Amino acid sequence: ENVNTTIVANSMEFGEGFSADDQKDIEAYKKAKQASQDAEQAAKDAEQAAKDAEQASQDAEKLKESDESYTKAKEACTAASKAKKAFETASNAKKAAESALKTNADEKPSRINLFSRKTKEYAEQVEKDYERAKNAYQKANQAVLKAKEASSY
C-alpha cells in the first residue's frame, strides 16, 4: 500500500482532483446561487416599493387635486422607480442564472451531480423571484397612473 498518495484539490477520491467539467459545474453553481440571492432581494425590494407606490397613490386620491396630492404622486413615482430598479436587478439575475445553466455540463454520473441539480434549483427560484419583481413593478406603475390622475399631475 502506498502511504504517500497525495490528495489533489478538494478531491473525495485519492489522487484525483476535479475535472474541467467539474470546475465548470462548480462555477455555474456559484453563479446561479448568487443570482438567486440577488433575485430574491430584488423581488422583496420591488414588492416593498410597489406597496409604497400604492400607499402614496391612495393618499393622493384622498387629497384630490391639492398640493399635497401632487407631492404624493411624486412619492409614488419615486417608489415606482425603485421598483423598476429592483426589477432590472432581478432581470440581470435571471440572465446570470440562464447563463449558469448553459455553462452547466450535462447530467452525468459523478460526485458533482449535486452542483448540477442545485444550479437548476437556483435557476428555477430566480425565475419565480423575477416574476415577483415584474408583478410588483407593474403594480407600482398602476399606482403611479392613479396618483397622477388624482393629482392632475
80, 81, 57: which is closest to 150 by C-alpha? Answer: 57
In a domain, 117, yes or no: yes
- How far is the C-alpha of 35 from the C-alpha of 109, rounded, in Å? 26
Domain membership flag for residue 12? no
User: Is 3 inside a domain boundary?
Assistant: no
pLDDT under 50: residue ranges of the chain: 11-15
| Residue 18 is assigned to a structural domain of this protein | no
pTM of the model: 0.77
Per-residue confidence (pLDDT) for residue 13, from 0 to 100: 45
DSSP one-letter code for 112: T
CB-based contacts of 54, cutoff 8 Å, min separation 6:
76, 139, 140, 143
Position 113 in a domain: yes
For residue 73, give every residue at least 6 positions away whose Cβ sits within 8 Å of its Cβ, in sequence order, or none: 56, 57, 60, 144, 147, 148, 150, 151, 153
Cα angle 60, 54, 125; round to 5: 165
**Residues 16-34: pLDDT tens digits?**
566 777 788 888 899 999 9
The pLDDT of residue 109 is: 55
Q: Which residues pair with 16 in a beta bridge?
A: 13
Domain membership of residue 32 (yes or no) is yes
d(CA 102, CA 148): 43
Predicted confidence at residue 5, as pLDDT, reads 52
What counts of helices (H) and strands (E) characterise the chain?
3, 0
Range of the domain at 80: 23-151
